[in-house]
Amino acid sequence: MAGSPINLTNQFLIAMPGMVDGTFAGTVVYLCEHTEKGALGLVINRPIDIKLKNLFEKVDLTLDRADLAEAPVYFGGPVQTERGFVLHERLGGDGDEGGHYNSTLQIPGGLEMTTSKDVLEAMAHGAGPKRVLVTLGYSGWGAGQLEDEIGRNGWLNVDAEPGIIFDTPVEQRYDKALSLLGIDPRMLSQEAGHA
């Protein structure tokens, strides 16, 4: 099918119930970047057994923010799992420059993703973004790979809603993301259909 390439930046990818890849079964991925070269996203609903305060200790920082210390770190995807990715609200606005970090991807119309340690240093000092989701690793797709997976009924996509990332209990994020499409998860078949 020819036509302009799809751009799913700032959207959720929701794994279909029939997804056989155990890495992504039952996941919701926030897409940070999607171009003709490929896509990069972070899984937002798979916490791992590390708390933020422990992650900070590993990089010789102390996290004194009670609102974040016990928050889980998430499995962001299978690529570069030793690296941290901080998904956070856009800083600044209203003429306020806010914080600016060494390595931040500004997601058009959406959030920001920072991979440099300075965002953690700011958070350790009580500054930095207020609402964050920290992952180890990310999810990546090569050129055309994600489009192919969507074409084979692997994923649903919908415009992202930051409240699902930051305000919704983790066990409800999948169903909440589906509800943005008006879909009840019990209505989805395990089988991919072909017309």
Single-letter amino acid, residue 132: V
| Measured distance CA(29)–CA(24) in Å, rounded | 9
pLDDT at 187 over 60: yes
CATH of domain 11-187: 3.40.1740.10
Average predicted confidence (pLDDT) for the chain: 89
C-alpha separations of 97 from 101, 112, 125 in Å: 11, 14, 18
Task: Note the pTM of the prediction, 2 decimals.
Answer: 0.90
Domain boundaries, the chain: 11-187
Q: What is the pLDDT of residue 126?
A: 85
Tally Cβ neighbours within 10 Å of residue 137: 20
